[in-house]
Homo-oligomer: A and B are copies of this chain.
Amino acid sequence: MKIKVGVSNRHVHLTKEVYFGLFGKSELEKDRDLDQPGQFASTSYVTIKKGDRELEKVRVLGPFRDYNQVEISQTDAYKLKVNPPVRDSGDLEGSESITLIGPNGSVDLSSGLILARRHIHITPEDMKKYGFEGLKKVAVLIKGEKGGIIDNIYFKVLDIASLTLHLDTDEGNAFNLKSGDEVILIKSLEDENETTK
């Protein structure tokens, strides 16, 4: 079975309150829709800063969330000289601190900087339809000169989802994958699948 890829560049998710502190306004303007229903790239960008290192023009995604989260790649992590953990969205306890800088002010987050865990957006209906029920994670096979297998891809089961594998730019670029490309779903290489509740 094939699955569509979405490669995520570094980005931030913000609460309405933190966005107001950074931008002095309370509404996000949509630039374009993302692959997941309701999610969008906004027209707002922040600078993220750690010590004397910073990355400019990091996109704010919408809509607002109830947590503040900055997702970067390992390449970005080396640039910022920081070592963020691999995490699911919203699982931020003990993750790295980071400073956000907007046109109207800056905010120090005591946690929120992560590398995104490889994941597939999928509905409960598709989990059943494709026979994935009971599976916690899978792998994907990429063909061609820059081919290989990306393992430990977890299912993110949500009622509203468009079936897509989300990778970061390091993972995409290592295998020369672009958003919209298709890869082949296979069993995880690690025999650790547990039954989901």
Binding site for B on A (CB under 8 A): 73-75, 78, 86, 117, 139, 141, 143-152, 169-171, 173-176, 189-190
Contact = CB atoms under 8 A, between A and B. Distances in A.
B148 A149 contact: yes
Contacts of A149: 148-149, 151, 189
B86 A141 contact: no
B189 A145 contact: no
A151 B184 CA distance: 15
Contact of A148 (B75, B146, B150): B150
Contact of A173 (B146, B147, B170): B170
Contacts of A117: 145
Nearest to A143: B190
A78 B173 CA distance: 9
Contacts of A176: 74
Contacts of A141: 189
